[in-house]
Amino acid sequence: MIKKIDSILDKVSFYGIVIAVLLMLTFTVLNIVLRWFNTSILWIDPLVRHLVFLSAFLGGSLATGKDNHIRIDLASKALESIDKPGIKIWVERLIYIVTMIALVLLTKAGIDFTKMELEFGKDVFLGFHSGVLVAIIPFGMGLIGMRYLLRLLLTFTKEGVATND
């Protein structure tokens, strides 16, 4: 069940990033072509900026799911020489828990920021309110946090322990 949920989140992240990149390329090229005719569409630049932001979070989710992200993990490097897989898995679990705590705090801060932006922000383009656009932050942090939670839960299953060795 955990692997299935993780697989669904992986597919959502993958297809989301593909769509975001295609939209970024399409709108950027369109804007460049329109500039040849001394015109442009004002909402393209802010849309592309927010799509870049979204794709960064989706890429973070993909990297987390594949355990392929940037990390400073001195503990597991120090434990490589010790042939005690039980200690190594508990250190890994501790790292996941600390990371999830940080992500929960960042998600909460993102939610607070989104609430403030909804209250005091304005329409940015095409009727989209700035608060809706900055909701990308708690969405992205929450998505990455979910991926970490699933990775943590997988360490308690036989499949997860086998893939983490």
pLDDT tens readout for residues 66-96: 877 766 666 666 666 676 767 778 888 888 8
Does the pTM surpass 0.85? The reply is: no
- Compare 21 and 123 and report the one with higher pLDDT: 21
How far is CA 43 from its chain centroid?
24
Is residue 93 exposed (0-12), middle (13-18) or buried (19+ Cβ within 10 Å)? middle
Domain region containing 98: 2-164
Number of domains in the chain: 1
Residue 92, both tokens: 């890994």
Summarised one tens digit per residue, pLDDT across range 113-142 is 999 999 998 888 888 888 889 999 999 999
pLDDT for 163 beyond 70: no
Residue 42, pLDDT score: 86
